[in-house]
Amino acid sequence: MEDEYVLSVCDDVPHDVVLTDTGAHVLDVVQVVRRLSGLSLWRSEALATQVPALILVGVPQEDAEEAVTALHEVGAQAEAREQPEPGFPN
C-alpha cells in the first residue's frame, strides 16, 4: 500500500508558466499576471513587458493549464512547460 501512495504523490510533475507574447492588450495581461502571481501592479507590469517571462514556477499541471487559459483569454501567448527532473540534462 505504501508503494501506491508514493507513486501517486510523485506522479505530478511541476510545471512552469511562461509568457511568450503580451499581444495587443498589455494592461489586461498585466492584470492577469498580477492575479496569478500575487505581485504588485508595478512588478506585474515589469514582468509582463520583459517577455519571455516566467510567470509561475513549479505549479501543478492543472494550475498551469488554467493560468495559460487565462492569459490566452486576454490575447497573450503563453505555455506550460514541465520542469526537468533534477539530475537530468536539459
Q: pTM of the entire structure?
A: 0.79
Residues 6+ apart with CB under 8 A from 6: none
Q: Give the pLDDT of residue 12.
A: 75
- 12-45: pLDDT as tens digits: 789 999 999 999 999 999 999 999 999 999 999 9
Residue listed under C-alpha cell 503563453: 78
Binned at pLDDT 50, 70 and 90, residue 79 comes out as very high
Find the helix or strand (DSSP H, E) in which 45 lies: helix 41-48
Asked if the bond preceding 14 is cis, omega within 30° of 0, the reply is: no
Average pLDDT value for the chain: 87
Q: Assess contact for 80 and 66: CB atoms under 8 A.
A: no
